Every structure is written in C-alpha cells, then in structure tokens.
C-alpha cells in the first residue's frame, strides 16, 4: 500500500526550500510507493486543509527558485491567530493529519519549527523535519540550507559598500540578519575583509570599536566597514537583557499574573528600543571618530532569490535522505548533516537549543588574527 506523506514549510523563508521540496517529491515518486501532498503556508495550511498536489509538473524547474512554492507562515499550532485571538489548534491539526491519511509529515523550518514539530510528534504524529534558516542557528546540524546563499549575498553587498566607503572616507555600518546568532555577520564579515564585526555572542563596547577605527585613520586609512548582526548587543545592553530575562523567568516560575505582565512589558520595551540600535551605533561612531557614518540594512534581500550551489546540494541531500528515513520507519527526528554524514537526530535532543558561534570557533580566531575588531 502507498504511504501518504505531507510536507510543509514554516518560519521565515530561506533559499533552498524549493530544492528540498523537489528532492523529497522526486525521491518519493522514485520509490513508487509514496504519495506526496503539500500544505500551504506552514502549519496554518494543515489546520485549514489547504493543500497543493505535488506531481511531476509542480516539481519541475523549481530548483533555482527562491522562496517556497508552498508558501510559509510563522503561525504555531498551539498559538494560532484565529478571528483576532491566539488559539490552540493542535487538535484540529492532528485531526487533519489523519483526515489526509498521512503516514508522515515533513516540516521544513528553523529552530521554532523544530519545537512546533516536536509538539506534534508528542501527540503521536509521525514527524520528520529538515533544518533551514539563513541564520544557521539550528542545533544538531553542522549547516542549515539558506545560510550559504545569504552569506554570499551579504558578502557581495559589503564588497560594494567598500568602494563607496573608501571614496567618501566614511564609516559604513552594515546590519546583517541574525537575531540570535552571529554566523552570517561573522562569515560575511570575514569573507569581505570587514574591519569590525559585531555578533551577539561577543558583547561590544562602542569605544573599542571607535578606537579601532581611529587607529586605522592614524595609519592613513580613513574609512571603515562595520558589520553588525541584528542581534549584536553592547555590554550595557547585554547586562540589561540578562536582568530582564532573569525577572521574566522568576515571574514565570513563581510570580503573580501582574508580575508576569510587568516582566513581559519590560522585555517588549527593551526589544522596541533595539529596533534602531545599529543607527544609534553609527551615530555614536561618527561622534567618537570624527568620520562621517552611514547605515545600510541588508534585511530581507539576504533571504530572497536563487539558492547557491552549496544550498541546492545540501537541500537535495537532506530531502532525499528524508524519504529513505520514512521508508525505514524513522520519526520524531530532524534530518541533519554532521561531518559529511546525514543522520536522523531525535527532536528531543535539539528542541529549545540554539547553535551559537562558539567563542573558540576558527572563524573568530581567523578574524582576530587578520586584525578585525570584534568590539571586545
């Protein structure tokens, strides 16, 4: 009897999603024993029974397409916006899984999707996941697809900013995505030979960044490129955030609803204040160095367009291995790349964790040894 397998893509989009969908679909067809159905817009599509049949014609010529042909959303099964409210739609989603006679559901996403998928696995659904995100911060895998493409895009953009910074003798602060981890800023910063790289893992001091820029100026180089991950924090901000998080945890564990609201408000206020942190940094550096500064935010440019060859290969490897794992009856696992081997990592081993840049990582060591300032 044929197996029925569903696929959905959830969370922020990422180059390589279509390559993964294609690999799953084609490998499944190749077995001659599997039927694939796509759900639109992440978990929401499964809740609303919005399906897309993935036959050969749908899978043809999608390898090079950016985005996801299935659409995506950040909606979570247990906190789904319905009629203006957040509702727990887990049971509806489970019912629909059975209504579609699914034998397995493949959820392609980042850290949040791994968590949401795990919740469904705990309800008894056969779940496999694939790790994608341009942030490369999913625990349990060496690399997520999307990261390589985004690193190329950011590097090329920074290369272009170099010549204009040089011509105008300016500081250019470039904000790169990565709200928790600094992989993208660090990779693109090293590849573009940037002068300063600021990542969430290393809290920075603006005065140290300014000193590095002034030293360059004294040596006759009166421009600098400062790459900043969107999640990078100054030492003071980090202290503030740690305190807010501690209060939030305390309120969650043994506080009243008033305490919980207060700590949640403080957290939101802090996040709002951070929305312009790279602009503030550019202004600070201008004042501290006497050089004119400009800010460029690369934003969603980093997520769009054709995937790199590396991401296409990775997505194809993970997608086709996923079909093999379904055939073997594996479930409750993320299909990951580890030291050139594709493995099924139990979801409970990775949910709630984040792969940050280790402070002893060779990219950090290389950046330091070529004189890059990391703000510390």
Which residues inside 123-162 make contact with ligand F6P, applying CB under 6 A? 133-135
Angle at CA 341, nearest 5°, toward 10 and 60?
50
| Residue 223: CB minimum distance to ligand F6P, A | 27
C-beta closer to ligand F6P: residue 6 or 178: 178
Record the tokens describing residue 320, joined without a space.
């086709």
Record the tokens describing residue 231, joined without a space.
């999640």
Which residues inside 167-196 make contact with ligand F6P, applying CB under 6 A? 177-179
Rule CB under 6 A: say whether 307 interacts with ligand F6P.
Answer: no
CB 10 within 8 Å of CB 130 = no
C-beta closer to ligand F6P: residue 8 or 212: 8
| Residue 62: CB minimum distance to ligand F6P, A | 20
Inter-axis angle of helices 309-327 and 17-31, to 10 degrees? Answer: 40
- 3-22 footprint of ligand F6P as x/- string (CB under 6 A): ---------x----------
Q: Is 359 helix (H, G, I), strand (E, B) or coil?
A: coil
The residue with its CB nearest to ligand F6P is 12
Size of the site for ligand F6P (CB under 6 A): 8
C-beta closer to ligand F6P: residue 209 or 298: 298
64, 313, 335, 356 from 319: Cα distances, Å: 15, 10, 8, 25
| Residue 169: CB minimum distance to ligand F6P, A | 31
Cα–Cα dist 143/138, whole Å:
8
What is the distance of C-alpha 159 from the center of its chain? 23
> What secondary structure letter does DSSP report for 303?
G
Q: Which residues pair with 173 in a beta bridge?
A: 226, 295
Which residues inside 75-134 make contact with ligand F6P, applying CB under 6 A? 133-134
Catalytic-labelled residue, pool 103, 135, 137, 148: 135
30 flagged as catalytic = no
Q: Sort 294 into a burial class: Cβ within 10 Å, 0-12 / 13-18 / 19+.
A: middle
| Residue 115: CB minimum distance to ligand F6P, A | 15
C-beta closer to ligand F6P: residue 108 or 177: 177
CB 184 within 8 Å of CB 299 = no
Instruction: By CB under 6 A, name the binding residues for ligand F6P.
Output: 12, 133-135, 177-179, 230
The residues that are catalytic are 135
């Amino acid at each position: 009897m044929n197996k029925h397998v569903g696929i959905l893509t959830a969370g922020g989009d990422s180059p390589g999603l279509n390559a993964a969908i294609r690999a799953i679909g084609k490998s499944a067809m190749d077995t001659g024993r599997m039927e694939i159905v796509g759900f639109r817009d992440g978990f929401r599509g499964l809740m609303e029974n919005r399906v897309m049949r993935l036959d050969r014609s749908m899978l043809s010529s999608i390898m090079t397409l950016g985005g996801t042909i299935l659409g995506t959303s950040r909606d979570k099964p247990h906190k789904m916006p319905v009629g203006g409210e957040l509702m727990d739609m887990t049971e509806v989603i489970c019912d629909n899984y059975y209504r579609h006679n699914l034998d397995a559901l493949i959820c392609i996403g980042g850290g949040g999707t791994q968590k949401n998928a795990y919740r469904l696995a705990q309800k008894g659904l056969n779940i496999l996941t694939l790790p994608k995100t341009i942030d490369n911060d999913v625990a349990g895998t060496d690399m997520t697809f999307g990261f390589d493409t985004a690193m190329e895009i950011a590097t090329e953009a920074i290369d272009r900013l170099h010549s204009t910074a040089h011509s105008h003798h300016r500081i250019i602060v470039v904000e790169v995505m990565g709200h928790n981890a600094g992989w993208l800023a660090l990779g693109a910063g090293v590849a573009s030979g940037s002068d300063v790289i600021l990542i969430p893992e290393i809290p920075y001091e603006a005065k140290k960044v300014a000193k590095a820029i002034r030293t360059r100026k004294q040596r006759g180089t009166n421009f600098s490129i400062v790459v900043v991950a969107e999640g990078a924090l100054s030492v003071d901000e980090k202290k503030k955030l740690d305190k807010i998080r501690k209060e939030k945890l305390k309120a969650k564990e043994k506080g009243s609803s008033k305490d919980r609201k207060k700590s949640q408000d403080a957290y939101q206020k802090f996040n709002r204040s951070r929305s312009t942190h790279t602009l503030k940094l550019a202004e600070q550096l201008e004042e501290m160095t006497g050089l004119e500064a400009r800010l460029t935010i690369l934003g969603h440019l980093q997520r769009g367009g054709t995937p790199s060859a590396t991401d296409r290969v990775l997505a194809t490897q993970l997608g086709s291995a996923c079909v093999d794992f379904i055939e073997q009856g594996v479930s409750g696992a993320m299909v990951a790349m580890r030291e050139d081997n594709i493995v099924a990592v139990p979801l409970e081993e990775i949910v709630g964790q984040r792969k940050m840049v280790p402070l002893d990582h060779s990219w950090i060591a290389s950046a330091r040894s070529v004189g890059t300032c990391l703000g510390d």
